[in-house]
Amino acid sequence: MALDSPKELGAIQFGLMDPETYRDMSATKVITADTYDDDGYPIDMGLMDPRLGVIDPGLECRTCGQHSGSCNGHFGHIELAAPVIHVGFTKLIRRLLRATCRECGRLSLTDEEKEEFSEKLERAKELGEDPNDVLKAAIRQARKAGRCPYCIDQSTGEPTKQHDIKHEKPTTYYEVQDVLSGEYSELIASAMQPDPDDEDDPGMAPQELAEKTDIPLDRINQILSGEFRPKADDRKAIERALDIDLTEEDMNKLMPSDIRDWFEDIPDEDIEAIGIDAERSRPEWMILTVLPVPPVTARPSITLDNGQRSEDDLTHKLVDIIRINQRFMENREAGAPQLIIEDLWELLQYHVTTFIDNEISGTPPARHRSGRPLKTLSQRLKGKEGRFRGSLSGKRVNFSARTVISPDPTLSLNEVGVPRRVATEMTQTMNVTERNLDRARRFVSNGPEGHPGANYVKRPDGRRLKVTEKNCEELAEKVEEEWEVNRHLIDGDIVIFNRQPSLHRMSIMAHEVVVMPYKTFRLNTTVCPPYNADFDGDEMNMHALQNEEARAEARVLMRVQEQILSPRFGENIIGAIQDHISGTYLLTHENPQFSETQALDLLRATSVDTLPEPNGETETGDPYWTGRALFSELLPDDLSLEFTSSAGDDVVIEDGQHLEGTIDEDAVGAFGGEIVDTITKVYGETRARIFINEIASLAMRSIMHFGFSLGIDDESIPEEANEMVDEAIENAYEQIQELIETYAAGELESLPGRTVDETLEMKIMQRLGKARDSAGEIAEDHFGDDNPAVIMARSGARGSMLNLTQMAGCVGQQAVRGERINRGYEDRTLSHFRPNDLSAEAHGFVENSYRGGLTPKEFFFHAMGGREGLVDTAVRTSKSGYLQRRLINALSELEAQYDGTVRDTSGTIVQFEFGEDGTSPVKVSSNVENEIDVGSIADRVIDNEFTSEEEKARFLGTQEPPTNLSEYAGPGLNKAGTQEVESDD
């Protein structure tokens, strides 16, 4: 077996490739655009040449001799008839053209400047800044120099003048220079004519011009007749004298071959000064003379049902390139006119450009016959479905399953119910040894369809055999030590479970498998909060782990019980929810009494199997147990805790006995239930898991014992209460009417920073809010404490008093974007109202309750307010996904090091101490009030560890054990005590 030990990458370097290297690497030169001959065999030196690798099974690669699948393919090359520009480097090419001399190719910077930029570059690299900025600065500096500091123009004897470079996207470059206009004589003549509109302008005679410019008169006449082109000095003189411009821009197109010649002249040390490694990336290599042909394996052709071959987009593009390339060569050899050559050259450039990138702005994308743009090299890499984001950072995996989730309160929170279908599909590898041989054989003999069965076996020689219904018995007997058996998932296996969106680390947790019938994943309801799951059709993914390291890691780090505490707020995120909370509330609120049967029934699903001492006897002499006593049975024996719940109830627990207060959301709920939090931190995750499981079971039993339902009658309030509500609202209406009158009279005083209109709106809103609140209070007063809605709201199980208010009292003001409803018809919301009606009912105040029923107008306003919420949720989810991606990208490579610092991959310190305080949010107390009593935890652990006081004392170092190392330091003769002998340990 091949040993693929992990290797470490030292560095990755990117550079340009030398055309010679292309040729050396190439398996073959490609010269024909054809792919297959009539018999369906690849054509030699064609695009499907067998030397480029094989894709058809059975054929042998002519380069490496391997078959398809094991041969990765080999590059070929096309000799381009003329150099073309690589689109990826157009910007750099432009910069280099601008920064170097057109004659000698040297960088237009003095030696000192070069030195300076080299230094800056070094510094930028050291500081981790973008070396591109230095490059840009250097180019800018070089561009300023109008003349080359190194070479002399032979014709003028001056330093060579540099021309401006114009870049026409994507791949055309021009040299721009000012030359004498072709119509110079006409221009001069017309400037010398007197201006007919301006009487003060007498024009200029040739003599006058000659005097002004110091040019002989006959020369002037020659210039005027167009016989003589004035030299640069004369031209400037004439321009000055007549205040005209005689130049026009001359654009000289730079062909890729010109650019290549130009770049060849640039000396190595010059480009190194601007940060280009000349050893690896000579600038002339940016102009392609040889085009590498990707191996066929990178552009496989597919055979359609009708036997026709359909080629990859890249192959199509390469065909185009070769065709044009050939035509180019033929035309050039035939001596075609320059114009045709240039056209072909441009066409070749276009094809090579689109071969590399088909989404260049300014170039029409190359299209397939059907009109679909071709997907060429850069399109393969870019974007969400591209190679990086689509195939490397994330990809589809084997051993994963997805289905709908449903609740199962009988499971532990660590477990997940896996449908049999999934369990038989997903496998775990079993290495057969003498100890598990029998088991392995049993799995195999069960076959792929029986449940704890197996799907594949692997012999020591590496051969994999599929276990089928037919061969399973036979195969089972053959299984020996050192075989591998891919057995089905069985109870107790560890798997990873995930629900998207994975917004925090608790979105992916490890669960133990419980294989179950039916087709859904089953979870304990207490793990809903970390996954943010519910059962309205949610689906979740499961991944079966494939090696021992992964399984160990998952079990130790990712198991649900290890995630009880959330790093978000340092308290538990797993705990009782909804009906669990109602259940514990009912059980403990008024401390009800239970008979023996009832008490046993409540504790039936827990591990408690003996009842404590009864709390007392009823009048009839039967023993009874209180709810709090039963609850206490689940608590650790020595737990002592005192806290005040947000409902204002003081909860007292002493030595594992719940004495006072009601157990509600603040005690056992997810998101920071005190008891769960304390147990997790003090007694550990395992104890917490047991506690949460049992509390959930007890609570379900309890709520079933009491019975819990919510009907329409539970929200009704007596008639007199209704009248009081109406009165309160009537009251508010009157006050609003007063406000409106004051406003209409122009007497309303505006609040600071607000207009009068805004003030009125605000005051009305305030008043209506108050009206609703008082309606709520009235309603609340008329609800009994045993009202199920009240129980849910008070215990924190579900809903709030506000919901109750809306159901029974008054729904209240509807708002859109924080304001009363103002939009609609002109000057009014609905056509049911008079224009400019400012009253409450005309702007979305719903005075009825949900139970009482809304009027049509109110219903409509309510729908308007409700719509905003729906839109908000929809828009928020899409935005948060994007935000998440950006956050992850920014933080993904940060890592806490062993020295406590947080660094990125380049070793740059981001934080000197993790979180600036070096603590883990889950390992410290979440606030000052519940500090973790480390001393008592240590005491308890040590007490458990040692059976005798003596051993404990010895461990703690309070007592020295007697030694017989030497007489000198022996018992009784403690001479060493004064001599300070250092012990070996």
What gap in Å lies between CA 213 and CA 766, rounded to an integer? Answer: 86
Measured from the CB of residue 308, what is the shortest distance to other proteins in angstroms? 25
Strands 400-407 and 593-594: unpaired
Asked whether residue 71 is marked as a ligand-binding residue, the answer is yes
The DSSP 8-state label assigned to residue 119 in this structure reads H
Which of helix, strand or coil describes residue 2?
coil
Measured from the CB of residue 760, what is the shortest distance to other proteins in angstroms? 18
Asked whether residue 534 is marked as a ligand-binding residue, the answer is yes
Q: What would the DSSP string read from start to end of 181-250?
A: -TTHHHHHHHHHSPPTT-TT-----HHHHHHHHT--HHHHHHHHHTSSPPPHHHHHHHHHHHT---EEEE
If the CB atoms of residues 470 and 817 are measured against other proteins, the closer one turns out to be: 817
Measured from the CB of residue 861, what is the shortest distance to other proteins in angstroms? 9
Asked whether residue 786 is marked as a ligand-binding residue, the answer is no
Do 379 and 315 touch, CB atoms closer than 8 A?
Answer: no
Strands, E, within 722-824: which ranges?
812-813, 815-816, 819-820
If the CB atoms of residues 388 and 825 are measured against other proteins, the closer one turns out to be: 825
Q: What radius of gyration, in Å, describes the C-alpha atoms of the chain? A: 43
Asked whether residue 148 is marked as a ligand-binding residue, the answer is yes
If the CB atoms of residues 370 and 873 are measured against other proteins, the closer one turns out to be: 873
Closest CA to 729 of 777, 666, 681, 692: 777
Measured from the CB of residue 882, what is the shortest distance to other proteins in angstroms? 11
Q: List % helix, strand, coil for the chain (3-state, nearest 5).
A: 40, 15, 40
Which of helix, strand or coil describes residue 174?
strand
Measured from the CB of residue 863, what is the shortest distance to other proteins in angstroms? 3
If the CB atoms of residues 218 and 827 are measured against other proteins, the closer one turns out to be: 827
- The site for other proteins (CB under 8 A) is made up of 816-817, 821, 823-825, 829-831, 859-860, 863-864, 867-868, 870-871, 873-875, 878
What gap in Å lies between CA 258 and CA 342, rounded to an integer? Answer: 13
If the CB atoms of residues 388 and 859 are measured against other proteins, the closer one turns out to be: 859
The DSSP 8-state label assigned to residue 714 in this structure reads G
Measured from the CB of residue 856, what is the shortest distance to other proteins in angstroms? 9
Q: How far, rounded to the nearest angstrom, does the alpha carbon of residue 40 sit from its chain's CA centroid?
A: 46
Instruction: Give 528's contacts (C-beta < 8 A, 6+ positions apart).
Output: 534, 577
Q: Characterize 899-923 residue by residue with b for buried, 16 or more Cβ atoms within 10 angstroms of its Cβ, and e for exposed.
A: eebbbeeeeeeeeeebeeeeeeebe
Measured from the CB of residue 546, what is the shortest distance to other proteins in angstroms? 36
Do 687 and 570 touch, CB atoms closer than 8 A?
Answer: no
Asked whether residue 472 is marked as a ligand-binding residue, the answer is no
Asked whether residue 536 is marked as a ligand-binding residue, the answer is yes
- By CB atoms closer than 10 A (0-12, 13-18, 19+), residue 104 is middle
If the CB atoms of residues 73 and 844 are measured against other proteins, the closer one turns out to be: 844
- By CB atoms closer than 10 A (0-12, 13-18, 19+), residue 802 is middle
Tokens of 408: 């199962």
Measured from the CB of residue 700, what is the shortest distance to other proteins in angstroms? 31
**Residue 251: what residue type?**
M
Asked whether residue 74 is marked as a ligand-binding residue, the answer is yes
- Tally the residues of the chain: 985
If the CB atoms of residues 116 and 868 are measured against other proteins, the closer one turns out to be: 868
Measured from the CB of residue 837, what is the shortest distance to other proteins in angstroms? 13
Do 773 and 731 touch, CB atoms closer than 8 A?
Answer: no
**Torsions phi, psi of 79, nearest 5?**
-80, 115
Measured from the CB of residue 816, what is the shortest distance to other proteins in angstroms? 6
Q: What angle do CA 775, 779, 781 make, to 5 degrees?
A: 120
Closest CA to 378 of 352, 357, 349, 355: 357
**Residue 139: what residue type?**
I
Asked whether residue 64 is marked as a ligand-binding residue, the answer is yes
Measured from the CB of residue 872, what is the shortest distance to other proteins in angstroms? 8
Asked whether residue 104 is marked as a ligand-binding residue, the answer is yes
What gap in Å lies between CA 689 and CA 414, rounded to an integer? Answer: 8
Closest CA to 529 of 513, 547, 507: 507
Establish whether the linkage from the previous residue to 501 is cis, with ω within 30° of 0. yes
What gap in Å lies between CA 211 and CA 806, rounded to an integer? Answer: 100
SS3 annotation, 99-111: HECCCCCCECCCH
If the CB atoms of residues 863 and 924 are measured against other proteins, the closer one turns out to be: 863
What gap in Å lies between CA 750 and CA 86, rounded to an integer? Answer: 68
Binding residues for Mg(2+): 534, 536, 538
Tell me the binding residues for Zn(2+): 61, 64, 71, 74, 101, 104, 148, 151
Known binding-site positions: 61, 64, 71, 74, 101, 104, 148, 151, 534, 536, 538
